[in-house]
Amino acid sequence: MLYREAGDFKTSYGADSQTFPIRFDRMRYYAVLALAFGVVPFLINDYWANAVFVPFLIYAIAAIGLNILTGYCGQVSLGTGGFMAVGAYACYKLMTAFPEVSILIHVLLAGGVTAVVGVLFGLPSLRIKGFYLAVATLAAQFFLVWLFNKVPWFYNYSASGQITAPERTIFGIAVTGATTPAWAKYLFCLVLLFVLAWVARNLTRGAIGRKWMAIRDMDIAAEIIGVNPLTTKLSAFAVSSFFIGVAGALFFSVYLGAVEVGEAFGIQKSFLVLFMIIIGGLGSIFGSFAGAAFLVLLPVFLKNVLVGQLGWPTDLAAHIELMIVGGLIILFLIAEPHGLNQLWRVAKEKLRLWPFPH
Amino acid sequence: MPDTFWFALEVTLNGLMAGVMYALVALGFVLIFKASGIFNYAQGVLALFAALTLVGIMEGQVPFSHLINAVFGTSLHHIGFKVPALLAILLTAGVMVILAVLVERYILKHLVNQEPIILFMATIGLAYFLEGLGDVMWGADIKTLDVGLPKGISDTIEATTYDLFGYGFFIDKLDIVAALVAALLVTTLTLFSQYSKQGRALRAVADDHQAALSVGISLRFIWVLVWSIAGIVALVAGIMWGSKSGVQFSLSLIALKALPVLMLGGFTSIPGAIVGGLIIGMGEKLFEFFIGPLVGGATENWFAYVLALVFLVFRPQGLFGERIIERV
């Protein structure tokens, strides 16, 4: 009743192949966009931006990136943290080397650099499969973090070994640095997320996305029907790393401002993003958003309840949080291996029949 | 003989000893992977959990004291008496068996017939859960573990080698104990799986789940059994690592180091785990010794992974793994 597919007729090929063919979906999409672009920037304050919105937007980009590689192309990667570090350091080097160029271009270029690195570390995927590949990507994770720690050129020989984002502006408004207004951070990340999610959505439903999924479902069969595993796998690595690199660049320049590589981009980050796409749903753009939102909100929520309401010590709350996250992952895998995305699909089915379920 | 040669030899020996420690963790992985096809990421955290529990029992800590204090406003911390090491080890082994039963009942049973990757993710979830549980139960501070194993540099070896070669070798006694324990463990496990009834059942399950079921082997029992064994292997690894470097969170990261060991050796081979551990341990120490100073040191963080990566490109199934046959 509420969610209808019937009566929605298409009269042209263009209308038939649009991203959201059902009117309700389309309306919902526009409503979310209007809310995100038109309402939130006026209400946002520093706490909400730093605790919820900016991390959510950045992790959503990273989750979409990993979902392309793991969810769509079936190549499990534990190197997300390392690739985010590549994006962050590339962005830092570009920002300090070419201060007159726009930060937007730097962030995109940082994504490009990460894509190149991603393809390099993706090369073994042509020989190594499954778990073996997952472990092989750990090599990227540890090697890259070590590299950024040990080679002073990457952090411009600063004494602390940290990298700190200088102030950069777009249209005269600071988006990085200490004086950035909350809404500027938010909008900058939102615009990038919007564009990248749009690109991801259209890539995954086009020819290249179908090739990725063919490789994921059965690589040998895909090869036999003429999908080139070399270009398919490497393109997945490239696109995925581009997204993750952009996320890393934003994470460093907009969100944190100053970064110590082992702390910000350690192995924990790789797992966090992996959990996001598992909880959200493998092979779904919506799932990446849902998973990122869930895992960004959960610690904030738990902290507010355990520390704020019950008055427990913070370290205890952190341990309980670990238990809850672990428990939830297991629960999700048992109850709904396809994640939040599947729950949303089921909800839509119910809405379609409501209020006459038979 | 120049001193560098002897020094390199000493580094090699120490690397081999460190490799034994990696192999101890890798053994647990191989056991579970063989019997159930599950890639158990939680093995390292199992070792951490076992070591935490062991220390907690030995010190007579009240489990969950931190949580209880926070909820009820009490100030419990210790029972007041210490438990002897041997009894504590037995009790901890008991805890690991209970844990195995719980894992089977509440996780594995529900995930039968899921894809391997889903099971792998579930064990990551389990790892997080156990890590939190261990900290909530026993507190997150770094603890020292002393079950009475010999420690420190062996004077006898140093004196003997000095007399023989004019160069004294520094070798930690604990490493020698670890090597002996690992040898004992592998022998016991091999004997168990070759000659005992349960061991044969275990191998049957590893060969083919459905065929094993059809001749009346209880899958659920075998899973509990194999997780118990893995838990006890984790306890041994936890004791060794805990005595060496204290019981702390970084213990669970050793599990990650065990992954390249497994990849080298092949996921399905017990001797592979040992040989892989030795190669990785020796390789990373030698690399750090020869190349490390040139590139700024701390190469041990990544060398194992890169070595495994390069190796796998040439031999995707590992040294002793079963040949990968792919069909459409």
Dump pLDDT digits (tens) for B84-126. Answer: 778 888 888 898 999 989 988 888 888 877 777 778 888 888 8
Q: Chain A neighbours among B 41-70 (CB < 8 Å)?
A: 66-67, 70
Determine, yes or no, domain membership for B187: yes
Dump pLDDT digits (tens) for B213-261. Answer: 899 888 888 888 888 988 888 888 888 888 877 777 777 777 777 788 8
Q: Residue B122 and residue A135: Cβ atoms within 8 Å? A: no
Q: Domain total for chain B? A: 1
Determine, yes or no, domain membership for A143: yes
Determine, yes or no, domain membership for A112: yes
Nearest CB partner across the interface for A327, out of B129, B260, B308: B129
Q: Domain total for chain A? A: 1
Determine, yes or no, domain membership for A177: yes
In angstroms, rounded to a whole number, what is the distance separating the alpha carbons of residues B249 and B242? 11
pLDDT at A208: 93
pLDDT at A289: 92
Mean pLDDT calculated for residue range A103-111: 91
Mean of the per-residue pLDDT values of chain A: 86
In angstroms, rounded to a whole number, what is the distance separating the alpha carbons of residues B103 and B220? 11
Count Cβ atoms within 10 A of the Cβ of residue A73 and give its class: 0-12 exposed, 13-18 middle, 19 or more buried. Answer: buried
**Range of the structural domain that residue B245 is part of:** 29-258
Determine, yes or no, domain membership for A252: yes
Dump pLDDT digits (tens) for B23-54. Answer: 888 888 887 887 777 778 888 888 888 888 88
Mean pLDDT calculated for residue range B294-312: 78
Measure in Å the smallest separation between the Cα of A260 and chain B Cα atoms. Answer: 17
Mean pLDDT calculated for residue range A69-80: 89
pTM of the model: 0.86
CB of B258 less than 8 A from some CB of A: no
Determine, yes or no, domain membership for B306: no
Take residue A135 and report the two structure tokens written for it.
Answer: 């472990």
Chain B's closest residue to A276, CA to CA, is B121
Q: Residue A327 and residue B267: Cβ atoms within 8 Å? A: no
Q: Are B308 and B260 in contact (CB under 8 A)?
A: yes
Determine, yes or no, domain membership for B191: yes
In degrees and rounded to multiples of 5, residue B120 shows phi and psi of -60, -45
- Radius of gyration from C-alpha coordinates of chain A: 21
Establish whether the linkage from the previous residue to A355 is cis, with ω within 30° of 0: yes
Nearest to B256 by CA among B116, B107, B124: B124
CB of A305 less than 8 A from some CB of B: no
Determine, yes or no, domain membership for A322: no
pLDDT at residue A188 above 60?
Answer: yes
CB of B110 less than 8 A from some CB of A: yes
Determine, yes or no, domain membership for B327: no
pLDDT at B154: 67
**Range of the structural domain that residue A115 is part of:** 23-266
Give the lowest-confidence range in A35-39, A236-240, B37-41.
Answer: B37-41
Determine, yes or no, domain membership for B288: no
Determine, yes or no, domain membership for B18: no
pLDDT at A60: 94
Q: How many CB atoms lie within 10 A of CB A86?
A: 30
Chain A's closest residue to B296, CA to CA, is A150
pLDDT at B148: 67
In this complex, how many residue pairs, one in chain A and one in chain B, have their CB atoms less than 8 Å apart? Answer: 139
Determine, yes or no, domain membership for B315: no
Nearest to A21 by CA among A7, A2, A35, A1: A7
Determine, yes or no, domain membership for B295: no
Determine, yes or no, domain membership for A166: yes
Mean pLDDT calculated for residue range A226-243: 92
DSSP state of B298: -
> What type of residue sits at position B318?
G
pLDDT at A254: 87
In angstroms, rounded to a whole number, what is the distance separating the alpha carbons of residues A61 and A110? 14
pLDDT at B321: 67
Nearest CB partner across the interface for B312, out of A128, A310, A325: A128
